[in-house]
Amino acid sequence: MTATMTRPVRLPRLRQLRERVSPRTDFAIRRLGRLVVSLVVVVLAAFFLVHLVPGDPVRAALGPTAPAGLVESTRVALGLDQSMPQQLLNYLSGLLRGDLGTSIQSGLSVSDTIASRFPTTLTLAALGFAVAVVGALPIGMGAALIARTRRGRTVNGGISGFLGVLIAIPDFVLAVGLISVFSMWLGLLPPAGWGDGPDAVLPVLALSLGAMAYLARIVQVEMIKVLDSTYITTARAKRLPQRLILFRHALPNIVTATLTVGGLLLSGLVAGTVIIETVFAVPGAGSTLVSAVGTKDYPMIQGMVLVYAAMVLAVNLVVDLILITIDPRTTIAEG
């Protein structure tokens, strides 16, 4: 009797609690839940995929001439002699303790390696994103203004075509081209390495040019739509200064689309550091991941993939939270 009486009471209480939660909070909770689910999927996918790769990781790490006894003892020490379900349980329990394991190749802690390599990767991605945004806004806005002039269609078509070419070029091809021109031909910049000043120029450019072209194209299209809108026509009829129309009336109305695309591009730039670091021999997480894949270093691959995925998902979550602050109605409706 008591159980049947409490059921009708609990349901209204749950409904009342849900109604008290603001739409923004509910949106943030749902996005955070998706992030957790995505991380779980990434962890499981990384574990099973690396174990499906043919070959013996211990033999690859120790070399073909290593004694069989050493290979077997190393395999036992790393727990690779156990069944796959047991290895998965060991890996998950280690994750809960914050232990990502030990590298088969170097014998160093995966967590320590990530802590020493990821600052370089984050710096490269942040610089690439900054260059992309700073370059895309004036290029996109300028192309939109040119398109509205009498003779601007030809120039605008040329700008759009050039941006399209930059978007289509793969990152590694662009990187090799930059090295050929600025290092091998002109001798202005070092072809590889990472550090302050000139060493960072080519890696940052190779990472950012494609993203800058894509973002500039979005800004161009959105700005043309805004400039053709009624309220911009009204502002011009009031003879407001062109600078005021652009920066106070037009620019705020393209922020949502630009920020959405910019967030996706930042996620792509984080993932794109793998290629750029490999081409320019940058000592970051991307080049470490490529090296780990070549040597079948299971713990290092799993740790790097997990951290990369966490970074990309975190960027997407932050962008969503910023968007819900700027434009709550559109974001909540979509989410």
What is the CB neighbour count within 10 angstroms for residue 137?
A: 18
Tokens of 35: 């992030």
Distance between CA atoms of residues 285 and 307, nearest Å: 10
Give the mean pLDDT of 117-122.
Answer: 88
Give the mean pLDDT of 94-99.
Answer: 80
The residue among 185 and 2 whose pLDDT is bigger is 185
Q: Classify burial at 265, counting beta carbons within 10 Å of its beta carbon; exposed 0-12, middle 13-18, buried 19 or more.
A: buried
Minimal CA–CA distance to 300: which of 107, 67, 11? 107
Is the model's pLDDT at 6 over the cut of 50?
no
3-class DSSP assignment, residue 102: strand
Is the model's pLDDT at 1 over the cut of 50?
no
Alpha carbon distances (Å) from 114 to 32, 90, 99, 301: 24, 20, 12, 11
**The pTM is what?**
0.77
The residue among 182 and 318 whose pLDDT is bigger is 182
Distance between CA atoms of residues 291 and 285, nearest Å: 10
DSSP tag of 81 = T
What secondary structure does DSSP assign to 145-190, as a single string? Answer: HHHTSTTHHHHHHHHHHHHHHHHHS-HHHHHHHHIIIIIIIS--S-
Is the model's pLDDT at 114 over the cut of 80?
yes
Position 102 confidence tier, pLDDT thresholds 50, 70, 90: confident
Give the mean pLDDT of 71-94.
Answer: 79
pLDDT of residue 20: 60
The residue among 61 and 208 whose pLDDT is bigger is 208
Query: Is the CA virtual torsion 325, 125, 118, 309 positive or negative?
Result: positive
Query: 87-94 — which CB contacts under 8 Å span 24+ positions?
Result: 87/47, 87/51, 88/47, 91/47, 91/302, 92/43
pLDDT tens readout for residues 309-329: 888 888 888 877 777 776 665
Give the mean pLDDT of 109-116.
Answer: 87
pLDDT tens readout for residues 271-303: 888 889 888 888 888 888 888 887 778 888 888
pLDDT of residue 23: 66
Is the model's pLDDT at 184 over the cut of 80?
yes
Give the contacts of 168 (CB within 8 A, at least 6 positions apart).
none
Tokens of 79: 């727990």
pLDDT tens readout for residues 30-52: 778 888 888 888 888 878 877 77
